Amino acid sequence: MRALLLSVLLLLIAGCSPPARFNATELSGIDWGRDFALTDHNGTPRRLADFKGRTVLMFFGYTQCPDVCPTTMSSMRELMAKLGADAERVQVLFVTVDPERDTPQLLAQYVPAFHPSFLGLYGDAAATAATAGEFKIFYRKQPGKTPSAYTVDHTAGSYVFDPRGRLRLYVRHGETPERVTQDIKRLLAGE
C-alpha cells in the first residue's frame, strides 16, 4: 500500500513540474566551469570574459581524434549554418586535451577548417590539466603501436555559456544540430 501511495505521489509531483526549457542538460547555478586561461591558435591569450556578449560553445578534444571530435565539430558547423545571422553572436571554442601534439600551427589548420570563426585553444600540460579540472573534463592517453601513435580518451560533450558568460548547458555528444540550435536561440533571446 505504501509503495502504491508513493508511486501516486511521485506521479503527481512529476505532473506539476514545469517542462524543461532546454533540450540540453541545464547547469545554471553550478559553482565550477567559471573561467580558463589558455591561448588561441593565433597566439592570443584568452579567458572566458573575452567572449562576453556572445553565446559560447566549448568542446574538449584533440586533432587526431578518429571519430568524436570531427563529428562534433561538423555538427557545430551545421549549427552555425542553421543559426543564420545569429551565428555572428556565437563563438565555438575547441580546447585541446593533447597539448603534446596539438601545436598552435596544427590547431590553426584543423579548427578553422570546420568554420572560419572557430578558435582552437591550447595550454601547456599544467594549463590543460587545470582547465580540465575546472570544467570536470576527463582525459587520458591510451598507448598506441608507437609512442607518438596514442589516442586520448576524453569527455565527449560540449558546454554552452550564455552571453553574460555564465555556464548554462551541457550538450551530450550526438545531440542533433537542430535541437542545439533551439537552445542557442533561447540563450541569445535572454532566457
Binding-site residues for Cu cation: 65, 69, 154
Q: For the chain, what is the HEC assignment?
A: CHHHHHHHHHHHHHHHCCCCCCCCEECCCCCCCCCCCEEECCCCEECHHHHCCCEEEEEEECCCCCCHHHHHHHHHHHHHHHHHHHHHHEEEEEEECCCCCCCHHHHHHHHHHHCCCCEEEECCHHHHHHHHHHCCCCEEEECCCCCCCCEEEECCCEEEECCCCCEEEEECCCCCHHHHHHHHHHHHCCC
Q: Which residues are annotated as a binding site?
A: 65, 69, 154
